[in-house]
Amino acid sequence: MISWAPVPITFLMATCPRCKGHLTDSHRCPRRSYLVALEILASAVVGGFLGLLLVALFDPRGQITDVDSISLVAGALIAVGINRALRS
């Protein structure tokens, strides 16, 4: 004797052709990894440039030495941190 168990509703749900996730009303495919990496790189470059720009504005004669690389790295890290915090 064969008995058929009822199929749960989750097995009958349609799936997204791109990410294979369940197609609900609020479905959004996850972003592709290369686009995320490109966005992080762009925000790091812009943040580094803004860090150097701030040093140039506050020290127009260049009296502060060895701050360029620190401001570049700090600006990049702050920009990436803000970008990731806003995207979450």
Tell me: the pLDDT tens digits for 21-55?
A: 888 888 888 888 888 899 999 999 999 999 989 88
Cβ contacts of residue 15 below 8 Å, gap of 6+?
Answer: 21, 22, 23
d(CA 15, CA 29): 11
What are the residues facing 22 on neighbouring strands?
15
Residue 56 within a domain: yes
Number of structural domains the chain divides into: 1
Residue 15 is assigned to a structural domain of this protein: no
Asked if residue 58 belongs to a domain, the reply is: yes
Q: Is 57 inside a domain boundary? A: yes
Domain that holds residue 70: 31-87
In a domain, 18, yes or no: no
Task: Tell whether the model's pLDDT for residue 8 goes beyond 80.
Answer: no
Tell me what pLDDT residue 77 has: 93
Tell me the per-residue pLDDT of 49-86, one tens digit each, with 9 for 90 and over.
999 898 888 888 877 777 888 888 999 999 999 998 98
Residue 53 lies in a domain: yes
The predicted pLDDT at position 43 comes to 94
Binned at pLDDT 50, 70 and 90, residue 18 comes out as confident
- The verdict on residue 8 lying in a domain is no
